[in-house]
Structure 1
Amino acid sequence: MKSSVFSPTVIRELTDKTYDRRKVAALEVESLVKQNKESHEQVIGIIQELVNDFVYSDSSNAQCGGLISLAATAIALGPRVAEYLDIVVPPILACFNSKESRVRYYACECMYNVAKVSKGELLRFFNGLFEGQCMLSNDKEPSVRNGREILDRLIKEIVCELAVTYVSPYSGNTNGHGSDQEQHQLQQEGTGEKAFSLSKFIPVLRRHVYTSNPYERMYVMSWIGILDAVPGLDLVWYLPDVLDGIIRYLTDSHHQIRANARLLLAQFFQEIQFISRQNEDEGTAMSQKRPNHHQTQDGHQQQVEEEKETRSTSSGEEEQQQQQHETISMMTKSTAIAPSTPPPSPTTPIKQIQYDRILDILIQHVSSTKEEIQRTALQWMIEFIAAAKPVVIQFTPRIIHAVLPLLAHPIPTISSFAMETNRNLQKLVLEYSLMYHNGRAGGNVDLVPSHSDPPSTTTMKTKTILVPPTTTTFTTKTVTATTTGGPIMLRRTYRSDIGLSTFTRPKNGELFDYSMTVANLKLQFLSEHEQTRLASLEWLLLLHKKAPNKVIASVDSILPELFKTLSDPSEEVVYRDLELLAQIAYHSDDDTFHIFVKKLLLLFERDRRLLESRGSMIIRQLCIHLDVEKMYCTMATILQNDQDMEFACMMVQNLNIIMITSSEMNCLRKQLRSLDTKHGQQLFLTLFRSWSHNAVAAFSLALIAQAYELASNMLQIFAELDITVNMLIQLDQMVQLLESPAFTYLRLQLLEPDKYPYLFKCLYGIFMLLPQSSAFSTLRSRLNSASSLGFLHVMPKR
C-alpha cells in the first residue's frame, strides 16, 4: 500500500465534517509544506496527494479539506507557487462544477488564495477561470455568489495591472523546473510567452457573449468593460467578436443589462470616433506637408532644410517609436504599467479595426424589428461612413438594401437616422466616383498615408467604465488618467489598410460594385413606401450621372422596372423615373435609343389607361430632357409601320396635341415652318408619313408647316371619308387650338389673303365641315374678323 506524506491524524481531520478540524489539519499541511519548501519533489508529492486523495474524492468533506489544504499550500509557498500552478489550478477549477454548494464555495476561496500569491502567473489559466466564474455567476447559493464576486474582483485587479506586461517563465515549461535565477532572467529578457493572451481569450468570450442568462450577461459585460479599459490590450481590434452579442443585449428584459449594454457600446463608439478623427487629422497634416509644384525659391529652400533636419533625426526614429509604444494608454481604475515588449518591427502586421466585420454586423441589425437595435446600428453606420470610407464603399449595395426601407419608418428617430445615413452614403459614393473617374481609383478614397505621431502634449481625459460589483447589479465609475498624445491613444490604423485585408476587389479593380448596387436598388421599386421608391430612383440618378456607362451596362435588367414605375401612384416618383429614363436614353447610341422609344410606345399600346392619364405628361417630361426632334422623329418612324391602326391613330393624335400646346416644342414647330430648307422638308416628311394615321392630325401638321396648299387638297379627301363623331370631335378640338399661341402666325397671315390664299380655303373648308357648334361659332368669328375685301379676286382659278 502506498505510504502517505500526511499523518493518519491529518488525513482523518481533513475528511472531518466540521470546519474547525479541517482547518487545523490544513494548518498542519501548511507547516509541512514550509518544511519541504526547498524540495521540489516533496512539494509535488504533497500537492498530488491532496488532489488525488481529497479534491478528486467522492466525499464532499474530503473535497472541502483538500481545497482548504491547497489554499494553505499556496500560502506556504508564496510566490513560488507559480512553479506548481499546472497541477494546482485544474483541480480547483473542476470543483467549480461540483454539485455541492460547499465545495463550490471552498473552490472560490481556494482560488482566491492561490491568485493572491501567484499574481500574474495565474493569468495563464485565465480562460478556465473565466468559464468557471461564468458558470458560478448564476449560482443559487448566496455564499457561492459572494465568494465568486470576491475572487472576480481580485482577478480583475491582476488583469488591469499585469495583463499587458507580465511574461511567464513557466509557459511551455509545465514541469516547472528551473532555478529561480533562470526564471528571473527569462522574465527580465521578456523572451517568454505572455501569461495573458487576448487573442486566445476572444473565442471564449465570443461563445459566452451569446448567453441568455441575465447574470452571465452582466458578468460578461463587466469583463468586456474592464478589458477595454486596460492600456495596451486594444480590445477594440476584436470588437466584431463581441459587438453582435452586445447589440442583442439592448432588447434584454432587464433594465440594468440594457443600460450596461448601451454604456459599453457608447465606449466603443467614442473610441472609434477618436481613431477616426485622429486619422483624419493625420491625413490633413500630411497633405499640408506635401510640396507645392509652384513653390517659390524661398519655399523650396525651406523644404530642403526641413528634409535635412528630418534626415539628421532619423537615427532616433526607433527610440521615438519605442517611446510612443510605451505611452499607449487608455483609462483604467488602476495604475497603467508601460508595456515591456518592443514596438513592432516594420515587417510585423499592424492591427487594424475590422471595419468590414463590424459593418456586416451593423447591416444585419439595421433590419431588426427592435427600435433600439435599429437606432444603434444606424448611429454606428453614420460614423463608419466617415471613418472607413473604402470599406463602406464595398458594402454600399448591402447598406442601401437595408437602409432605404427605413426612410419611411413610423418612428421619427429611426427615419431621420436612415435619411442621414442615406445622404452621407450618397456623398461618399459621389466622392469616390469623382476620384475614380479622375484616375485616382484602384486605391482607397483617402490616399494620404498615415504615420504615427511622436508623443505630444499631455492631456486629461475621463472615461466611464464598468466597475465590478459587490452584488448582482453593476455601478459605473468615472476615472481620469493621464495620456500622451490625446485620449485613448490606441495604436493607429493605416487608413490605406482599413478593411482591405478581408475583401477581394471586383475584377475591374474598383471598390464599388455598380451592378450589385443597381440590382439592390431595383428591388426597392417593390416597396410599399413612396420615400423608399423615390430614394432608389434618386440613387440611380446619382449613379447614372457620375458613371453612365456603368449603369447602362445594367439597363436590360432595370429598364422594364423603370417603365413599370411610370404607373406608380405617386407623381413625384413618376417624375424621378422619367428623369432617369431620359438620362439613360440620352447616353444611349442610336440603336439603343430606338429600342428605348419602341418599348415606351409598346407600353402605351398595352396600357391604354396609362396613355390616357399620363401619356402627355410622360412625353413632355422626356422631351424636356431629350432632343425633341430626335424623340418625335423616332416615334414617328416606329408608328409609321405599327400594325395596330387604332393605337397609331390615338398616339399620333396625342403627339400632335402635345406638339401644338407645349412650350417645349417651340423649336420643333420652327423647324417645321422651314420647308424651304432640306432639313425642314425631311422633318416634315418623316412626321407626315406617321401623322397620316390620323386625318385631322395630318391636316394640323400641314397648317403648322404652312403647307396650306397641301392642307386644302387634304380637305377634298375629307369629303370622301366617313365623318365620324370622333373625327368631328378632333376637328372641334383643332379649331380651339387655332386660338392658341402656337398658331399666332397663322392668325396674322389672315390679314394677307393675297399672300396666303390657300389658308382661307383651308379654314373655310373646315368651317363647312363642322356642324353648328361652339367650334363653328369660334371659327366664324375669327374669319369675320379678318377683312374679306377682295377675297374672291385673290382666290386662284382652276
Structure 2
Amino acid sequence: MADGLSVIPAATLRNLSDKLYEKRKNAALEVEGIVKQLAVAGDHDKISGVINLLANEYTYSPQANHRKGGLIGLAAATVGLTSEAAQHLDQIIPPVLNSFSDQDSRVRYYACEALYNIAKVVRGDFIVFFNQIFDALCKLSADADANVQSAAHLLDRLVKDIVTESDQFSIEEFIPLLRERMNVLNPYVRQFLVGWITVLDSVPDIDMLGFLPDFLDGLFNMLSDSNHEIRQQADSALSEFLQEIKNSPSVDYGRMAEILVQRAASGDEFTRLTAITWINEFVKLGGDQLVPHYADILGAILPCISDKEEKIRVVARETNEELRGIQADPAEGFDVGAILSVAQNHLSSAWEATRIEALHWISALLNRHRTEVLSCLSEVFETLLKALSDPSDEVVLLVLEIHACIAKDEKHFDQLIVYLVQNFHVDYSLLEKRGALVIRRLCVLLDAETVYRKLSSILQREPDLDFASIMVQALNLILLTSSELHNLRDLLKRTLYNNDGKNLFLSLYPSWCHSPMAIISLCLLAQTYQHASSVIQSLVEEDINLKFLVQLDKLIHLLETSTFTYLRLQLLEPGRYIWLLKALYGLLMLLPQQSVAFKILRTRLKTVPPYSFSGQQQFKGLSSGNALPEVAYASSSKIFEDGVMSADQRKTDDGINFASCLQQFERVQKQHRLLSKSQVQSQSQSRHNSASAAKEVQQADDTKRPSPVPETNRPPSRSSRKTSGQPQP
C-alpha cells in the first residue's frame, strides 16, 4: 500500500474520489499512464501496490465517491497493464465483483462499466472467474435500477462473446450453478438464464445436451410463465434440444423421463402439451433406456388421454399406442407388476377414456405376460370386480373380457361368478341395469352352459330367498330372450331325448325352484309339458300374488316371440301335445280375465284346430277362428283318458324323476311362503310397536297438561251468558 501512495501523486488520488465524474475520469487516465510505465519497467511489485491501494482504500471505502473512483481506477490499471493484466486479475476482479452488490445503484453501474473494460482487455483470461461473474450478472439482470440493468446487459453480451470463443470454459463447473438458478421466478433472471442456455448450446465444443437433465425441469417450469416472451424463449430452447435429441439420441432418457412425467401433469396446458410431445419422441427413440420407466410414463399418458385439449389427447393416444406396441421382456427389466399397478390405479379415474385405456393395458399384459399378471392378481382382482359396476357399458364389456381371460383358470372362474352374485345381492339396481349385459357377455366370452350351471349352483345354496328368486327370474328372462343363449335354449329343448340337455335341465332345476314362473318357463322350454302342468296344479293360493302375475304376464308375451315358435307349432297337433295344451289352459285359468295377457293366451288357444283331436269328422266344418277352447280341451281330455300318451309322457322316466323334482319345487316354495308370512308378521309387529309407542307418548303428553277446569267452575260461555240473561260485555 505504501508503494501505491509513493507512486500515485496525492492530487491524482484526491481527484479519483471527487464527486465530479470528469475529475475521476482524468485521474483514472493518470493511473493508467502510471501503471503502463511500471509495466514497461517490469515493476510488478509497485503495480500490485497501486492495485491494492485502489481496492482497499477506494472500492471498500464507506464513501460512495471513493468506491466509484476505485472502480474506474482498477479498470484504468487493467488497461495500462494490457497483456500483462492476467497475472494481477486475482487482485482486480474480486473488489469489482463485490461492488455488484453495493447499495448505491451508481456504484453498481460503475462496477458493470469497470468489469466491461477489464473483460475487453483480458478476454479469455478472466474465464477462471466465470461462475462468480455469472452469479453477479444473474442478480444484476433483475436490478431495480434501469441503468444498472442496461449496463449489466451490455456486460453480459461481452461475456457471452468471450465464452463462445474461449477454450478454457468449463461446462462441468458451470452446470451446478445453472441448475441452482433455474428455479428462480423473476422474469428478468429467467430471460437471462434462457439466453445463456441458448448461447452455450450453440457452441459446438460445449455439450449442453449431455447436461440437459440438470436444467430441463427449469425450462419446463418457464413454459407457464405469465410473460409471453419468456414462454416463447423457453419453448424455442426446448424445441432446439428436442431436435438435437432426434439427430443424436445418445442422451440420458431415464432422468429426463422422470421430469417429463411430472410436467405432463402440469396445470398449464402448454406445459402438458410440450411434455407429452417429448414423451412421445422418447418412446419412439428411447429403446432399452426407457424400459425401467414404462410404468411412470404410462402413469403420465393415461390422464392425458382424457385431457380437455384435443391436441394433448391426440398426442397422448399416439404415445399410448406406441408404448403398448413395444414388446418388452420382464427379463430385461420390464416390470409387469408396476405397469399393472398403474393401470389398476387409473380404473378409478373420473374419465371414461382413461379407464378404457387402462383396461386395454391390463388385457395386453394378460395376453403377453399371463404368468406374471396372475402372480399379481390378488392385488388387482378386487378392483377389476368392482369395475363391473362402472357407469360406462364399454368399460364393463372390457372388464368382462379381462375377467373371461382370467377365468380360463377354474379357480378364478369360481371367484368371478361368486363375486358377481354377491355384487348383485348388495346392489339390486346393478342387477336390474347391468345384469343382462354382464351375463350375456360372459356367456359369449366363456361357455354359456358353464356360466349358467355355476350360477345355478350358487343360487341353489343362497340363504336369502328373496334375492334368489329375483336373481333366478333375471337369469330365466335372459335365457329366454338373449340371442347369445340360442344354443343353450336348443340344448334344453332336447332335454327328453339328449343326455346333455337332461343334465343341463337338472342342473338348473334346483335354483329355478325359487321362482314358479321360472320353473314353468324352463319346463316349456325343455318340452317337459306334463311336469309344467303338474307344477301349475301344485300352486296354492299364497303363490298367486302380484309378483307371480307380473311374471306370468311376461311369460305370456314371451310365448308370442320367436323363442317359442316351436311351441306354437306344436299346438297344431293337440292330440300329440295334450300336456302342453293342459299347461297353457292352466296358465289361462290363473290369469285375471280382464288382463291383456289373458286375452292374448285365450286368442292363441282359440286357434288350435279342433279337428286334430280325433280321427272322426265331428269337428269338420268348424274353422279355427270359431273353435271354442272348452271344446278343444274337452276333446283332448277324452283322448288322454282313452290312453293316448303324449311324447313327453313317454319320456318322463328316462333319467328324470319328475315326482322328486315336483317335491323339490314344493319344498322350496313352502320355504318362500313361510318367509313371506314371517315378514308380514314382522311388519305387523313393527306397526303395532310403533302404534304403542305413539300411544305412550300421547299419554305422557296428556299427563303433563294442566287438568281441565270442572264444568261447574268454568265461566259460562258467551252463548250461555246470553241465554241466561246476563249482560253482554
- Answering whether residue 219 of structure 2 is matched by residue 356 of structure 1, we say no
- For residue 210 of structure 1, what is the aligned residue in structure 2? 183
Letter in structure 2 aligned against 1:266: S
Letter in structure 2 aligned against 1:698: I
Identical aligned pairs, as a percentage? 40
- For residue 266 of structure 2, what is the aligned residue in structure 1? 368
Letter in structure 1 aligned against 2:313: A
- For residue 379 of structure 1, what is the aligned residue in structure 2? 277
Letter in structure 2 aligned against 1:206: R
Where is the helix percentage greater, Structure 1 or Structure 2? 2
- For residue 661 of structure 1, what is the aligned residue in structure 2? 481
Query: For the residues of structure 2 that align with 1:416 and 1:260, how far apart are their CA atoms?
Result: 21
Q: 3-state DSSP class of the match of 2:7?
A: coil
The unaligned stretches of length 5 or more in structure 2 are 616-635, 646-729
Q: Deviations over 1:58-96 (max 9, x none)?
A: 333333333333223322332332223223222221111
Equivalences for residues 515-594 of structure 1 within 5 A: 515-585=337-407, 587=408, 589-594=409-414
Residue 397 (structure 1) shift: 3.7
Query: For the residues of structure 2 that align with 1:683 and 1:744, how far apart are their CA atoms?
Result: 22
Query: For the residues of structure 2 that align with 1:556 and 1:749, how far apart are their CA atoms?
Result: 53
Aligned counterpart in structure 2 of residue 60 of structure 1, from 64, 75, 86:
64
Letter in structure 1 aligned against 2:323: L
Residue 525 (structure 1) shift: 4.1
Alpha carbons 2:182, 2:190 under 8 Å: kept: yes
- For residue 775 of structure 1, what is the aligned residue in structure 2? 597
**Count of aligned residue pairs for this structure pair:** 614
Q: Deviations over 1:662-701 (max 9, x none)?
A: 1211222233344444433332221112112222212322
Alpha carbons 1:378, 1:418 under 8 Å: kept: no
Q: 3-state DSSP class of the match of 2:527?
A: coil
Query: For the residues of structure 1 that align with 2:642 and 2:318, how far apart are their CA atoms?
Result: 70
- Answering whether residue 637 of structure 2 is matched by residue 742 of structure 1, we say no
- For residue 237 of structure 1, what is the aligned residue in structure 2? 210
- For residue 421 of structure 1, what is the aligned residue in structure 2? 316
Equivalences for residues 202-281 of structure 1 within 5 A: 202-276=175-249
The unaligned stretches of length 5 or more in structure 1 are 167-194, 277-351, 444-509
Query: For the residues of structure 2 that align with 1:416 and 1:34, how far apart are their CA atoms?
Result: 66
Query: For the residues of structure 1 that align with 2:60 and 2:114, how far apart are their CA atoms?
Result: 15
Q: 3-state DSSP class of the match of 2:142?
A: coil
Letter in structure 2 aligned against 1:420: V
- Answering whether residue 505 of structure 2 is matched by residue 684 of structure 1, we say yes
Residue 274 (structure 1) shift: 3.0
- For residue 483 of structure 1, what is the aligned residue in structure 2? none
Query: For the residues of structure 2 that align with 1:258 and 1:48, how far apart are their CA atoms?
Result: 46
- For residue 639 of structure 2, what is the aligned residue in structure 1? 793
Alpha carbons 1:33, 1:76 under 8 Å: kept: yes
Q: Deviations over 1:391-426 (max 9, x none)?
A: 55544444444444444444xxx2332343134223
Equivalences for residues 413-492 of structure 1 within 5 A: 414-432=309-327, 435-436=328-329, 442-443=331-332
- For residue 122 of structure 1, what is the aligned residue in structure 2? 126
Equivalences for residues 2-151 of structure 1 within 5 A: 2=2, 4=4, 5-9=6-10, 10-37=12-39, 38-151=42-155
Query: For the residues of structure 2 that align with 1:652 and 1:142, how far apart are their CA atoms?
Result: 84
- For residue 156 of structure 1, what is the aligned residue in structure 2? 160
- Answering whether residue 456 of structure 2 is matched by residue 636 of structure 1, we say yes
Alpha carbons 1:403, 1:418 under 8 Å: kept: no
- For residue 471 of structure 2, what is the aligned residue in structure 1? 651
Q: Deviations over 1:317-342 (max 9, x none)?
A: xxxxxxxxxxxxxxxxxxxxxxxxxx
Query: For the residues of structure 2 that align with 1:431 and 1:142, how far apart are their CA atoms?
Result: 55
TM-score of the superposition, structure 1-length normalised?
0.70
Equivalences for residues 322-361 of structure 1 within 5 A: 352-361=250-259
Q: 3-state DSSP class of the match of 1:133?
A: helix
- For residue 519 of structure 2, what is the aligned residue in structure 1? 698
Considering Cα pairs closer than 8 Å and 6+ residues apart, tell me whether 1 or 2 has the greater RCO. Answer: 1
Query: For the residues of structure 2 that align with 1:706 and 1:762, how far apart are their CA atoms?
Result: 11
Q: Deviations over 1:432-490 (max 9, x none)?
A: 3xx53xxxx544xxxxxxxxxxxxxxxxxxxxxxxxxxxxxxxxxxxxxxxxxxxxxxx
Residue 360 (structure 1) shift: 2.5
Q: 3-state DSSP class of the match of 2:613?
A: coil
Alpha carbons 2:3, 2:46 under 8 Å: kept: no
Q: Structure 1 780/118 Cα, relative in aligned 2: closer, same or farther at 3 Å?
A: same
Q: Structure 1 420/3 Cα, relative in aligned 2: closer, same or farther at 3 Å?
A: closer
Q: Structure 1 100/766 Cα, relative in aligned 2: closer, same or farther at 3 Å?
A: closer
Letter in structure 1 aligned against 2:100: F
Residue 130 (structure 1) shift: 0.8
Larger Rg: 2
Residue 782 (structure 1) shift: 3.8
Relative to structure 2, which stretch is displaced further, 390-399 or 246-255?
A: 390-399
Alpha carbons 1:757, 1:796 under 8 Å: kept: no
Q: 3-state DSSP class of the match of 1:785?
A: coil
Query: For the residues of structure 1 that align with 2:293 and 2:493, how far apart are their CA atoms?
Result: 55
Aligned counterpart in structure 2 of residue 619 of structure 1, from 418, 439, 447:
439
Alpha carbons 2:355, 2:395 under 8 Å: kept: yes
Q: Structure 1 442/520 Cα, relative in aligned 2: closer, same or farther at 3 Å?
A: closer
Q: Deviations over 1:8-55 (max 9, x none)?
A: 434444334444444444344434434443355444444334333333
Q: 3-state DSSP class of the match of 1:369?
A: coil
- For residue 189 of structure 1, what is the aligned residue in structure 2? none
Alpha carbons 2:139, 2:189 under 8 Å: kept: yes
Letter in structure 2 aligned against 1:665: L
- For residue 457 of structure 1, what is the aligned residue in structure 2? none
Q: Structure 1 380/648 Cα, relative in aligned 2: closer, same or farther at 3 Å?
A: same
Alpha carbons 2:305, 2:354 under 8 Å: kept: yes
Q: 3-state DSSP class of the match of 1:630?
A: helix
Alpha carbons 1:269, 1:380 under 8 Å: kept: yes
Q: Structure 1 93/697 Cα, relative in aligned 2: closer, same or farther at 3 Å?
A: same
Residue 264 (structure 1) shift: 2.1
Letter in structure 2 aligned against 1:427: E
Query: For the residues of structure 2 that align with 1:392 and 1:785, how far apart are their CA atoms?
Result: 75
Query: For the residues of structure 2 that align with 1:535 and 1:428, how far apart are their CA atoms?
Result: 12
Residue 3 (structure 1) shift: 5.0
Q: 3-state DSSP class of the match of 1:251?
A: coil
Query: For the residues of structure 1 that align with 2:540 and 2:151, how far apart are their CA atoms?
Result: 111
Alpha carbons 1:652, 1:693 under 8 Å: kept: yes
Alpha carbons 1:406, 1:415 under 8 Å: kept: no
Residue 639 (structure 1) shift: 0.5
Alpha carbons 2:273, 2:311 under 8 Å: kept: no
Equivalences for residues 310-329 of structure 1 within 5 A: none
Q: Structure 1 795/93 Cα, relative in aligned 2: closer, same or farther at 3 Å?
A: farther
Query: For the residues of structure 2 that align with 1:674 and 1:95, how far apart are their CA atoms?
Result: 103
> Which consecutive aligned stretches of 4+ in structure 1 deviate over 6 angstroms post-superposition?
none
Letter in structure 2 aligned against 1:547: H
Query: For the residues of structure 2 that align with 1:546 and 1:796, how far apart are their CA atoms?
Result: 68
Letter in structure 1 aligned against 2:185: S
Letter in structure 1 aligned against 2:234: A
Residue 155 (structure 1) shift: 1.1
Q: Structure 1 74/764 Cα, relative in aligned 2: closer, same or farther at 3 Å?
A: same
Compute the RMSD of aligned alpha carbons.
3.0
TM-score of the superposition, structure 2-length normalised?
0.77
Letter in structure 2 aligned against 1:575: L
Alpha carbons 1:389, 1:428 under 8 Å: kept: no
Query: For the residues of structure 1 that align with 2:161 and 2:288, how far apart are their CA atoms?
Result: 40
Q: Deviations over 1:188-226 (max 9, x none)?
A: xxxxxxx31112111212222222322222222211111
